[in-house]
Amino acid sequence: MRKYLFRITLTLATLGLLLGYALAGPEADVTEPFEQGVAALSQGNPTLAVEKFTAVIKINPELPEAYINRGIAEMSLSLWGDAVGDFDQALELKPRSPEAFFNRGLAYSRQGEFAKAVADYTQAAKFAPKDWQIYYNRGNSNLDMKKAKEALKDYNQALKLHPQAPEILHNRSLAYLALDKPEPAMADADKVIELNPNYARAYYSRGQALEKLGHKYEALAAYRRFLKTGEPDADAQLLQKTLERIKALEEK
């Protein structure tokens, strides 16, 4: 199973770096649809948000914030190509926009274009070096490209900025596993479980680490816990793999 299936999907609030309305002296007829678009995104209505930001762009096509927020709405509708086009336009208008680089990186990563995603996250980090989400997502793309050492560096930086975040710790455990370092992988998985006992995939990661360390029965216990707590749909492939690992261990 490819490692992107382990990655934590960010919610819109974090995924979008939602800009809010920060335009200097906006025209009155632009203000209302812009704020309506922001409200629609916040309320989980991306279709309406696209409509509202399109209305803004028709009135004033020189506002990078409108393209960025429309791109965010398009991503939540899985319109990745449209989103990339909007982020491209935003960057033409505002070449140093970390929001545009970050969100375009997200769109590229969801299309499997991980090298492009890493390049965009790197640009975003130049302009917003204190945003942990940039390093976390760059780590995810590096892990997708099987660059576990680079991913580990990114997760370490993300944790400096956002300590004890379960999603970062969990993905760092995956990087350690990819580097065949089960001890720190298990330590991270245990920390995730301590912070959030309902974080199901941490039990699978813990099982992997324990299996690598030769602790058969503890690994079986961790895998069985994941079977009880994993999401039937979202974790379907991973649950199947867990059943296979349990069978293999029981036959030893």
Non-local CB neighbours of 200 within 8 Å, separated by 6+ positions: 226, 229, 230, 231, 235
Q: Is 80 helix (H, G, I), strand (E, B) or coil?
A: helix
Two tokens at 189? 């998985």
The pLDDT of residue 27: 55
Backbone angles phi, psi at 250, to 5 degrees: -65, -25
Which domains does the chain carry?
1-128 (1.25.40.10), 164-252 (1.25.40.10)
**Strand positions, DSSP E, the chain:** none
Nearest alpha carbon to residue 193 among 209, 179, 214: 209
The pLDDT of residue 61: 94
**Reported pTM:** 0.87
Distance, in Å, from the CA atom of 197 to the CA atom of 202, rounded to the nearest integer, reads 9
The one-digit pLDDT tens for each residue of the chain (252 residues) are 223 222 223 333 333 344 433 333 345 588 899 999 999 998 999 999 999 999 999 999 999 999 999 999 999 999 999 999 999 999 999 999 999 999 999 999 999 999 999 999 999 999 999 999 999 999 999 999 999 999 999 999 999 999 999 999 999 999 999 999 999 999 999 999 999 999 999 999 999 999 999 999 999 999 999 999 999 999 999 999 999 999 999 998
Backbone angles phi, psi at 7, to 5 degrees: -70, 145
Nearest alpha carbon to residue 229 among 210, 247, 205: 205
| Torsion sign over Cα 229, 230, 231, 233 | negative
Non-local CB neighbours of 215 within 8 Å, separated by 6+ positions: none
Two tokens at 214? 């030769």
CB 35 within 8 A of CB 20: no
Nearest alpha carbon to residue 168 among 157, 181, 183: 157
Nearest alpha carbon to residue 109 among 82, 145, 85, 133: 145
Distance, in Å, from the CA atom of 161 to the CA atom of 171, rounded to the nearest integer, reads 16
Helix (H) or strand (E) segment spanning residue 236: helix 236-250
Distance, in Å, from the CA atom of 176 to the CA atom of 230, rounded to the nearest integer, reads 22
The pLDDT of residue 18: 45
SS3 content of the chain, % helix, strand, coil (to 5): 75, 0, 25
